[in-house]
Amino acid sequence: MGRFWSLLFLTVPILGVLTFVCAIGNIWPLNGGTLAFPADQWLPDDVSENGGVIDNLFMFILYLTGVIFIGTSIALFLFMWKFDAEKNAEPVKFTHGSHTLEIVWSILPAAALLFIAIYQMNAWVDAKMKRPTEMIGRSEVPKRPLVEVTGRQFEWRLRYAGADGQIGTPDDLHAVNDLHIPVNQEVVITLKSQDVLHSFFLPNLRVKQDAVPGMKQFVWFQANEVGAFDIVCAELCGWGHYKMRGRLTVESQEDFDKWFAEQMSEQERTEFTPSSGDDDE
Ligand SMILES: [Cu+2]
């Protein structure tokens, strides 16, 4: 066997480097099996206002952890190679700790984490803390949600504010798994869960937020391209987790208004009355 194990471990950094090269150069097999060089396929298409910042953060952390991972793998290989048992008959001497080393390998990761924590602060504030505002009369208030999204096993229940702009009133529009939003506008949604933990994930908008039973949260985003995109549940929530998907349709304000009016008249036609039980707070 001899140096078999050290060579086996050497394949880890080699595969790591190959993965990086394929990802950055967009080379097969990471671009869906073709050898062409189309637009970057490493991440799903980004159609959002804020996504670029999040992608940059993602890539930064990927490079940082990638370099460290490959470095430690190479160090592991070198030590295994050099101190192979068959070539070194002398038994190993154990020593007890090095203060300097302990301090160094505690401070370095702590400093790296602290740097990332500060570096990502603006992205966090934009995505999670600074809810968009609107003017009502002469006062600037947090923007009202367009729709309330409630995760439940195993679907996304949607409730749009009707003409009064309020969610939870009799003129609401109800839908399941079919979210429509206007393009080029900041959209605020209310996110809830009816049963267990779910995670509301819009891959193309770089939005992911846990839906927690008993909590009401606000999520906001702006889509800059029209089209149909996925809504996915990103939290294993039960046997039907895999089928908990919906469709996000981004469309012009005109199309959105048309769709809304159609759905509304359809809802009135079928004399749908919201149940007073499970949906209410
Ligand atoms: Cu779920």
CATH of the domain at 151: 2.60.40.420
Q: 152: CA distance to ligand 1 center in Å? A: 7
- Does residue 144 share a domain with residue 77? no
In a domain, residue 100? The reply is no
Structural domain of residue 36, as residue ranges? 4-87
- Does residue 255 share a domain with residue 142? yes
**Rounded-to-integer distance, Cα 141 and Cα 270, Å:** 36
In a domain, residue 15? The reply is yes
Q: 266: CA distance to ligand 1 center in Å? A: 28
The band of 40, judged by pLDDT with boundaries at 50, 70 and 90, is: low
Cβ pair 251, 259 in contact under 8 A:
yes
Measured CA to CA in angstroms, residue 160 lies from 37, 132, 147, 153, 163 at distances of 42, 18, 4, 20, 10
User: Average of pLDDT values for 44-68?
Assistant: 87
Q: 133: CA distance to ligand 1 center in Å? A: 29
- Does residue 242 share a domain with residue 161? yes
Question: Which tokens in the block code for residue 236?
Answer: 């294993």
- Does residue 263 share a domain with residue 147? yes
Per-residue pLDDT tens digits for 81-137: 888 877 778 887 888 888 999 999 999 999 999 999 999 998 899 888 888 888 888
- Does residue 169 share a domain with residue 241? yes
- Does residue 81 share a domain with residue 140? no
- Does residue 150 share a domain with residue 47? no
Count H helices, E strands: the chain? Answer: 5, 12
In a domain, residue 189? The reply is yes
- Does residue 168 share a domain with residue 83? no
In a domain, residue 174? The reply is yes
Q: 237: CA distance to ligand 1 center in Å? A: 5
Q: 231: CA distance to ligand 1 center in Å? A: 11
Number of CB atoms found within 10 A of residue 216's CB: 14
Q: Is 188 a residue whose pLDDT tops 90?
A: yes
Predicted TM-score of the model (pTM) = 0.78
In a domain, residue 59? The reply is yes
Cβ pair 151, 237 in contact under 8 A:
yes
pLDDT at 272: 55
Q: 122: CA distance to ligand 1 center in Å? A: 29
Output the CA angle 158-162-164, nearest 5 degrees.
140
